[in-house]
């Protein structure tokens, strides 16, 4: 009996380790983070990372308006991605979590795979698309040369019953 239990636990752990893309999520949910900028006259630099993955610096501008990536949520549902944003021609910057356990509820669309967190980057700040209300909700302002507060403007958009 104990050998069977150990074997099942080993298979469970192995299945979670081999998941490397949203399409490959077998036990946990798959997500994508998708960013779209409407700032076309300036470069917006984006550096995103989790505890395990550094996605590097990406530049959004008039030729590259979008950036996205996919992942499988870990089995503890504690996956967290943060991004640092800054503008090339100004001192505007911001750092915040673009995916965490609370946002997973906002981004969840009822699929095992292909649940998407849509972020809009605008001149006046950062917006998260609310999949339930079907609206863009402003979450953060740009910080003008000061440390990021990481406090959302609209906490309702991040929490659902």
Domain regions of the chain by residue span: 20-158
Please write down the long-range contacts of 47-53, taking CB distance under 8 Å and 24 or more positions apart.
47/83, 47/84, 48/81, 48/82, 48/83, 48/84, 48/98, 49/81, 49/82, 49/83, 50/79, 50/80, 50/81, 50/82, 51/80
Beta carbons within 10 angstroms of residue 5's beta carbon: 9
Residue range 57-65: mean pLDDT, rounded: 94
Average the pLDDT over 102-113 and give the result.
74
Per-residue pLDDT, 7: 56
Q: Which of 2-6, 56-60, 83-87, 92-96 has the lowest mean pLDDT?
A: 2-6
Question: For the sheet containing 44-49, what is the strand order?
Answer: 54-60, 44-49, 81-87, 92-99, 143-144
Q: CA 145, CA 92: separation in Å to the nearest integer?
A: 6
Q: Is the pLDDT of residue 14 over 60?
A: no
* Distance from C-alpha of 142 to C-alpha of 124, rounded to nearest angstrom: 7
Report the C-alpha gap between 69 and 55 in whole angstroms. Answer: 9
CA distance 28 to 12: 11
Does the pTM of the predicted model rise above 0.85? no
Top pLDDT among 149 and 50 is at 50
- Among 63-67, 77-81, 82-86, 137-141, the range scoring the smallest mean pLDDT is 77-81
Residue of higher predicted confidence among 58 and 27 = 58
Q: Please check the confidence at residue 4 and state whether its pLDDT lies above 60.
A: yes
Q: How far is CA 25 from the centre of its chain?
A: 17
């Amino acid at each position: 009996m104990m050998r069977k239990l150990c074997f099942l636990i080993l298979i469970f752990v192995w299945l979670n380790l081999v998941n490397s893309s949203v399409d490959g999520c077998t036990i946990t949910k798959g997500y994508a983070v998708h960013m779209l900028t409407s700032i076309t006259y300036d470069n917006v630099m984006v550096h995103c990372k989790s505890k395990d993955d550094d996605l590097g610096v990406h530049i959004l501008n008039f030729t590259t308006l979008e950036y996205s990536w996919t992942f499988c949520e870990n089995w503890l549902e504690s996956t967290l991605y943060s991004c640092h944003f800054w503008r090339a021609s100004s001192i505007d910057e911001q750092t915040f979590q673009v995916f965490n356990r609370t946002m997973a509820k906002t981004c969840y669309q009822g699929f095992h795979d292909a649940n998407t967190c849509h972020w809009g980057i605008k001149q006046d700040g950062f917006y998260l698309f609310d999949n339930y209300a079907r609206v863009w909700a402003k979450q953060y302002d740009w910080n003008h040369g000061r440390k990021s507060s990481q406090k959302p403007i609209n906490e309702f958009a991040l929490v659902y019953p």
